[in-house]
Amino acid sequence: MPTRTTTRTGGARFRSQKRTTRRRRWCAAPPRGCLSRQSPSRVANLKRKSNPVTRRTPRGEIARRVIFLDFDGTYAHHGVVPRAHAEAVAAAQSRGHVVVLCTGRPMSLIPEDVIASGLDGFVATAGAYVELGSETLLDVRFSDQLATQAIELLDASGALYILETPSATFTRRAAADAMTQAAQQSSDPAVAQGLRSLVDAFTVQEDLSMIRPSKIMSFEGPVPVQEIATLLGPEVATVPSSLRDLGQGGGGEIFLASVNKATGMAPAIAHLGLTREDVVACGDGPNDLEMLEFAGTSVAIEGSAPELLAISDLVVAGPEDAGLVEAFVALGLIERS
């Protein structure tokens, strides 16, 4: 594994490593502006390349970036976005950067105030749904057969679960009541409020047979969700639930194996006319691994899984301490206020 060193800048810790050099095109209009077409003296000048993290062009301008933010545990604390985070996003947007929420939650479970807050787009349901502006770029669902089989296996196992789609999140009364009870029993007011907000967003109905979910979250059951996924076959995979307050026995998320946050990010950056090198990704959970691997610059939250910390360029505090502000400043996305 490449050797890493750590450098502290303000509240952020940079982690550097030797990376395979990618060819950069600094040109505004090819082919005249391409590095390879310049005179030898001009090439020598241009070799004052940008810091790969702050991404200044050879002329000193801040390059336009697209910033993908995980929601729970990164941008928000128990579903609530700190004011400092919202202000940092607005400041980055005012400088021409694009900010996209990249979350395991479906659109139907993202708080309404966050949807209305002016973000440039959403990669939701861990990559199954992508929306930029008012345009839907991707909406991937379980097939009818796979959805039916998953529901039958979960019911047979005695699991409590929710079916996630962009327009609504479906569950039965027993599951909604169990989550309400968990909220009532929680000693942490923030956790309790976060759980209540989820229940309020559910569509409760007993017949789930016609639902084609993008993802399934099982939050309680005697049979581990991994065993159910094995019975469903190679079309699906699992991760621990990103909603840690529901991490009871047997719980986890079942999703299409071909889908992850990176597969959702790809059409978004293509639509914007940007590249992976222009991507900043910030996350903290197991379903953020592909997102951070995909990004040109990766930011992990303190306390993240070791595999995320190992590949991150920068480590910052969690949302309760407004860590993304330090990340944005350290990366040159905003100025310190």
The pLDDT tens digits of the residues spanning 99-153 come to 999 999 999 999 999 999 999 999 999 999 999 999 999 999 999 999 999 999 9
Distance CA 96, CA 49 (A): 21
Q: Architecture of 66-140+260-330 per CATH?
A: 3-Layer(aba) Sandwich (3.40)
Distance CA 165, CA 59 (A): 45
Numbered ranges of CATH 3.40.50.1000 in the chain: 66-140+260-330
Residue among 202, 203, 213 at smallest CA distance from 126: 213
Numbered ranges of CATH 3.30.1240.10 in the chain: 144-256
The pLDDT value given to residue 320: 96
Mean pLDDT score of the chain: 84
Give burial (CB, 10 Å; 0-12/13-18/19+) of 232.
Answer: buried
The pLDDT value given to residue 187: 86
Where residue 182 falls among pLDDT bands split at 50, 70, 90? confident
CATH of 144-256, one of 3.40.640.10, 3.30.1240.10, 3.30.1330.60, 3.40.50.620: 3.30.1240.10
Where residue 303 falls among pLDDT bands split at 50, 70, 90? very high
The pLDDT value given to residue 17: 47
| pLDDT of 98 above 60 | yes
Distance CA 316, CA 46 (A): 32
Share of residues in the chain with pLDDT > 70 (%):
79
Residue whose token pair is 């604390």: 77
User: Tens digits of per-residue pLDDT, 43-58?
Assistant: 233 222 334 455 554 4
User: Tens digits of per-residue pLDDT, 224-269?
Assistant: 999 999 999 999 999 887 666 554 556 899 999 999 999 999 999 9
- Rounded (5°) CA angle 115-94-55: 105
Distance CA 265, CA 172 (A): 32
Q: What is residue 220's DSSP assignment? A: E
Locate 323 and state its tokens: 């860590």
Distance CA 237, CA 258 (A): 9
Instruction: Give the DSSP H/E element, type plus range, for residue 83.
Output: helix 83-94
CA distances from 296 to 68, 214, 269, 334 (A): 11, 27, 12, 18
Contact criterion met (CB below 8 Å) for 290 and 306: no
Distance CA 312, CA 147 (A): 35
Q: What sign does the CA torsion over 178, 194, 127, 114 have?
A: positive
Supply the DSSP string of 281-292, one letter for each residue: EEE-SGGGHHHH
